[in-house]
Each structure stands twice: as structure tokens, then as C-alpha cells.
Amino acid sequence: MQMILAAVLLVMAVLNVFLLFVIRQIVVITNRQVQRHFTVELESLGTEVEGMLERLAEARKELQETERKETAPQEAETTASVARGLSQVPGFSHPRYRSEESLETYRYIRDHMKLDYSDYIRQALASRPQPDQVWERLRDVMDKLDFQTMYGLLLMQDEERETVLERMLTKEEQAALEQAAPLDLHPDFSDRMDAARQYMKLHDPVIRVESGDPDVRNRPEEEGLRVEYNPQIHEGIRLHMGAGVLDYSL
């Protein structure tokens, strides 16, 4: 009787392990499908913007040709007259550091490239994958391993370090670290942590938007979205999702 009971318990244990494995695989496959869908959406948005920019460039070229034909004689005479007057000023020299062509292009795009960036952000938020459990556990690991703790761990021997990590991290956190950066593939601790950070970057569910508008710093927080001010951006935005970037900026 005891042998039968033991056999039943063994079968149930095997079934439980099998079910956990199946559920885990389903979660992994679902996340990959969502990420592929998001990538397709981003590529579609990028194609749309590229087409719009091409049409703007063609329209600008036609407009320049028309304006050049109409104003070239008058501008040539005015420029020559001004240059003659300025050349008589002691110490004056003509500036050579600006590209008029670049300035004209910037002014034209600023005046005509009116894209609805908020719509792209909404579509990206709707397509973003949900955070997986490994990513969430790794975030907890990184919170625990601050700079001072990491420095101390780097100075330890391997066996001592593993003992300390087992004491610091929960079983779930240890399992997440092993899945993202297996110890047999990353025996060096520093390399292992770099691999874990790379996993977090690739699976980060938060969409990051860079903008050159200082007012974005006053934007209310929104779940799944982080808006940052970048003074190097003059117009448009940069949209980051995981390791992917869509650049709609100048």
C-alpha cells in the first residue's frame, strides 16, 4: 500500500514539474510573439515617417527651384551691394562657419514637418510587451546590489561570493539571475552582471522618449512611459523600446 502511495505521489510530482515547465514555455513564447508584433509596428511607423520625409524633400526642392528663379537676380545685386559696404568697415571679415543650405533645410523642416508624435507614442504603448517575471526579479537583484555591495562582491573569492549571494537573494531572484546569465556561460562575476543588465535592457517594458522640449520635464508620469529631456535634440523625438530606437529627431 505504501509503495502504491509513493508511486502516486511520484507521478503527481512529475506532473507538477511538467505543468510548470509548460506554463513557463507558454509565457516565454507569448512574450516573444508580443515583442515581434511590437517590432513590426515600429518598422511600419518608420516606413510611414520615411515616406513623409521623402515627400517633404521633393516639395522643398521644387519650391527652392521656383524661388531661386524668381529672386536670383535681385538677391545677387543686393548681396553684392551689402558686401561692398561692409568690406569698408575696418576689421570686418565675412563669416564662413555657417552653412546657409543647412539653415534653410532646418527652417523648412521646422515649418513643414508637423508630425503627431503623441500618436506614435500611444501606438508604442499599446504594443509594448508586459514585463516578464525574470525582468522583474532582476530589477530586485539590481536594487540589492548597489555600488558598494558590488565592489565588495568583486573582491571576494568565487565560493565566498556565491555563499553571500545565496544569503542576499531569494530563490526566485537566484533563478532569474541564472536564467538571464547562466553561471556556466559567465563564470566571471563582472561579466555575468553585464549579461544580466543586457537582458534587462532587451526586455525592458518601459518605453523611453527623448525630446528637446524642456517642458517635457513637467509632464505627468504615465505607466510604461519615461520621457526625458535631451538638449541635443532640436526638433522631434527619439523613441526607445528595449534595444530598438526610432529616431524622428533633428
How far CA 195 is from CA of 200, 219, 226, in Å, comes to 9, 33, 23
* Mean pLDDT across 65-71: 70
Q: What angle do CA 69, 72, 76 make, to 5 degrees?
A: 170
Cell 533563478: give the residue: 175
Cα-flanking dihedrals φ and ψ of residue 131, to 5°?
A: -65, 135
Tell me what pLDDT residue 119 has. Answer: 72
Q: Taking a C-beta distance cutoff of 8 angstroms, is the pair 250, 109 a contact?
A: yes
Q: Where are the domains of the chain?
A: 1-49+120-130+205-250, 133-202
Q: Report the chain's terminal Cα–Cα distance, integer Å.
A: 77
At residue 117, the 3 state secondary structure works out as: helix
**C-alpha dihedral sign at 162, 167, 171, 173:** negative
More confident residue, 32 or 248: 248
Q: Taking a C-beta distance cutoff of 8 angstroms, is the pair 234, 245 a contact?
A: no
Tell me what pLDDT residue 94 has. Answer: 47
Q: Which residues pair with 240 in a beta bridge?
A: 208, 245
Q: Which residues pair with 227 in a beta bridge?
A: 209
Per-residue cell: 90:
575696418
More confident residue, 95 or 201: 201
224: Cβ contacts below 8 Å, ≥ 6 apart: 125, 128, 205, 206, 207
Tell me what pLDDT residue 22 has. Answer: 57
pTM for the model stands at 0.49
Q: Taking a C-beta distance cutoff of 8 angstroms, is the pair 176, 138 a contact?
A: yes
* Mean pLDDT across 30-55: 63
At residue 214, the 3 state secondary structure works out as: helix
pLDDT digits (tens, 9 = 90+) for 137-146: 999 999 999 9
pLDDT digits (tens, 9 = 90+) for 11-26: 666 666 565 565 666 6
Residue 1, number of CB atoms within 10 A of its CB: 5
pLDDT digits (tens, 9 = 90+) for 163-182: 999 999 999 999 999 999 99
- DSSP run (H or E) holding 41: helix 2-86
Q: DSSP class of residue 87?
A: T
Q: Hey, which bits of the chain come out as E strands?
A: 207-211, 225-229, 236-241, 244-249
Q: Taking a C-beta distance cutoff of 8 angstroms, is the pair 216, 229 a contact?
A: yes
Q: Pick the most confident of 48-52, 121-125, 148-152.
A: 148-152
What does pLDDT average to over the chain?
73
Parallel, antiparallel, or unpaired: how do β-strands 207-211 and 225-229 relate?
A: parallel
At residue 188, the 3 state secondary structure works out as: coil
